[in-house]
């Protein structure tokens, strides 16, 4: 199907909330969204389309009425579009799951027989005893994961019936394919099902994985090839069946369409080759829509894989949104997306690597990354600024929306930051006691392909400003060691209200895009105002310490 052309300026202008005025402790700022890695933003035309479709919305479990027939037709059209966008092939199946990758991964683990509820495992242990469970454990699948996985693609496997084996990083900071090959041939795993589950791109460093090369290696060694595209799906090609490369095929992919531009409110997606599916077993969840006949004492399930794994009423709007964002990606073109991201990353690396107080995490080659940059800032006195303090200042001084923490990639974070086992154990002990402020982390910003030069340059210069002057603002913020949060000592948070009254008072969502000339002027005004504030503040000693063991674990600057 011929898709309409979409240019980046149009997409930016259609983004709800772009350039919106927001109140911060330092006055009004223009909202600059740099957290697409966590979640995308709504598009006006997608919301308008969903409102239009709502006039014919109905449950898709009937085709006898106009609305039921329309809903069923739209659902099937959306599923077909999803499979086409991923080149899933004639044996590709799509299941909408929950709200993101986590639900999709869990659904796949149910299909593969790996997922097991903790209460069920406890019951089996109490009923059969530890020895029987140990025998089962010795035969359970072996799952190989990468060194920079999101927690969803690691913790979920650990909690299931699987032996999880982690592949190391190579000397360049990428996945070590030679190590993976050695692991796949380990005699200890002989006779067991082998599964490779790897992220296609890091949500911390943006490092891209050679998915088809990994798939070829897995298939040559008899393993199935599963890939988590949560971080990279909006920005890279996803080709489940590359032409002339059977070994390079992807057996399953899962990702979070809510991370796409236009994607909030969409379902998580699992797309897989039906060869993974045990059609001789009942579906992972039996219920309405999965059966062809039910009587008083028996029932029969639908033989169609997609129907039998779609228990209950399908989320029509959730699936439509997921399909639409993939169509938008195709209309823009992956080549255009990657070219723009590469240009932005080159600007970032040129400006930030030259600054002695900015430490960028991960391999420094922009060609190997998507538009994600995680970093820490030094304070100039031998310590660093707490990542959550940096994100708070980006918001308060400049209206820039970013993220701090470990990005749900704890094991990778330990490697990137050089956290040893002894220190990790101590931090874990405090975290389990509800103290999260000393956990390691970084600040993460995303340079989205719809960012124009004015917006990207503003983010770049704002971070450089904080590297120069951020520590001067420490005395004006209170640190909560339990949450790790920082709050301006004199500001009152201005948060949106939730109520029916608030919903009734809101009119139609309008566009807030502003001309580039106006934005450049306001961005510069924010930088100038921040500089005036910083130059009026003394350079503090930043020698404040937390009490006791927390002070020993403290790696960040605090004001006295």
Domains observed in the chain = 17-45+333-488+530-553 (3.90.1150.10), 57-330 (3.40.640.10)
For 328-463, where are the E strands, in sequence order?
Answer: 358-360, 372-377, 400-401, 403-405, 442-446
Q: How far is CA 509 from the centre of its chain?
A: 26
Contact 477, 488 (CB under 8 A): yes
pLDDT, position 157: 96
Q: Summarize pLDDT for 100-116 with one digit per residue, the tens.
A: 999 999 999 999 999 99
CA atoms within 13 A on the CB side of 458: 31
Q: Which pLDDT value is given to residue 473?
A: 96
CA–chain centroid gap for 450, Å, is 18
Residue 139: HSE in the Cβ half-sphere, 13 Å Cα cutoff: 6
Q: Are 277 and 111 in contact (CB under 8 A)?
A: yes
Q: Look at residue 381 in the predicted model and tell me its pLDDT.
A: 82
On the 0-12 / 13-18 / 19+ scale of CB atoms within 10 A, 202 is: buried
What is the rounded distance in angstroms from the CA atom of residue 558 to the CA atom of residue 379?
Answer: 10
Element (H, E) at 110: helix 101-112
Residues in the chain, pLDDT under 50: none
What pLDDT is attached to residue 62?
Answer: 79
- The predicted pLDDT at position 508 comes to 63
436: number of Cβ within 10 Å: 18
User: pTM for the whole thing?
Assistant: 0.95
Tens of pLDDT, residues 195-230: 999 999 999 999 999 999 999 999 999 999 999 999
In this prediction, residue 475 carries a pLDDT of: 93
Pairing state between β 32-33 and 400-401: parallel
The CA distance from 187 to 299, in Å, is 43
Let me know: does 406 contact 439? Beta carbons within 8 Å.
Answer: yes
């Amino acid at each position: 199907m011929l898709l309409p052309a979409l240019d980046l300026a149009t997409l930016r202008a259609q983004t709800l909330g772009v350039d919106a005025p927001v109140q911060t402790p330092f006055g009004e700022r223009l909202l600059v969204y740099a957290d697409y890695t966590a979640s995308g933003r709504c598009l006006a035309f997608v919301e308008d389309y969903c409102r239009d479709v709502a006039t014919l919305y109905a449950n898709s479990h009937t085709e006898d009425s106009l609305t039921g027939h329309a809903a069923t037709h739209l659902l099937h059209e959306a599923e077909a579009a999803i499979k086409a966008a991923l080149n899933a092939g004639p044996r590709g199946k799509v299941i909408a799951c929950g709200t993101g990758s986590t639900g999709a991964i869990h659904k796949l683990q149910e299909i593969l027989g790996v997922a097991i509820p903790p209460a069920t495992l406890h019951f089996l242990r109490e009923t059969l005893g530890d020895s029987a469970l140990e025998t089962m454990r010795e035969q359970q699948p072996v799952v190989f994961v990468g060194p920079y996985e999101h927690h969803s693609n690691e913790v979920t496997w650990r909690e299931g019936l699987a032996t999880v084996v982690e592949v190391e990083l190579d000397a360049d900071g990428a996945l070590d394919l030679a190590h993976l090959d050695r692991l796949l041939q380990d005699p200890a795993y002989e006779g067991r099902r082998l599964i490779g589950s790897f992220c296609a791109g890091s949500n911390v460093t943006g490092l891209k994985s050679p998915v088809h090369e990994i798939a070829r290696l897995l298939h040559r060694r008899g393993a199935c090839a599963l890939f988590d595209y949560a971080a990279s799906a909006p920005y890279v090609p996803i080709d489940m069946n590359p032409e002339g490369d059977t070994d390079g095929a992807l057996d399953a992919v899962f990702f979070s369409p809510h991370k796409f531009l236009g994607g909030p409110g969409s379902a998580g997606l699992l797309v897989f080759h039906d060869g993974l599916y045990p059609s001789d077993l009942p579906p992972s969840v039996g219920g309405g829509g999965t059966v062809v006949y039910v009587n008083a004492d028996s029932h029969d399930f639908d033989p169609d894989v997609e129907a039998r794994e779609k228990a209950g009423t399908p989320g029509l709007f959730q699936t439509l949104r997921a399909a639409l964002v993939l169509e938008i990606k195709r209309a823009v073109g992956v080549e255009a997306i990657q070219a723009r991201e590469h240009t932005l990353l080159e600007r970032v690396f040129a400006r930030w690597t030259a600054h002695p107080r900015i430490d960028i995490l991960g391999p420094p080659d922009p060609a190997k990354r998507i538009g994600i940059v995680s970093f820490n800032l030094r304070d100039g006195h031998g310590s660093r600024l707490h990542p959550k303090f940096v994100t708070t200042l980006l918001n308060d001084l400049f209206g820039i929306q970013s993220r701090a923490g470990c990005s749900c990639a704890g094991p990778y974070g330990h490697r990137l930051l050089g956290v040893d086992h002894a220190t990790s154990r101590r931090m874990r002990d405090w975290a389990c006691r509800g103290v999260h402020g000393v956990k390691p982390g970084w600040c993460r910003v995303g340079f989205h392909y719809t960012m124009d030069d004015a917006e990207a340059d503003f983010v770049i210069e704002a971070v450089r400003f904080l590297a120069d002057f951020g520590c001067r603002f420490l005395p004006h913020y209170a640190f909560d060691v339990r949450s790790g949060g920082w709050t301006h000592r004199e500001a009152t948070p201005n948060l949106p209200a939730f109520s029916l009254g608030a919903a009734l008072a809101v009119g139609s969502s309008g566009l807030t895009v502003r001309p580039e000339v106006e934005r450049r002027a306001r961005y510069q005004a924010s930088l100038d105002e921040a500089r005036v504030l910083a130059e009026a503040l003394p350079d503090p000693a930043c020698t404040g310490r937390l009490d006791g063991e927390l002070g020993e674990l403290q790696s960040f600057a605090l004001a006295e």
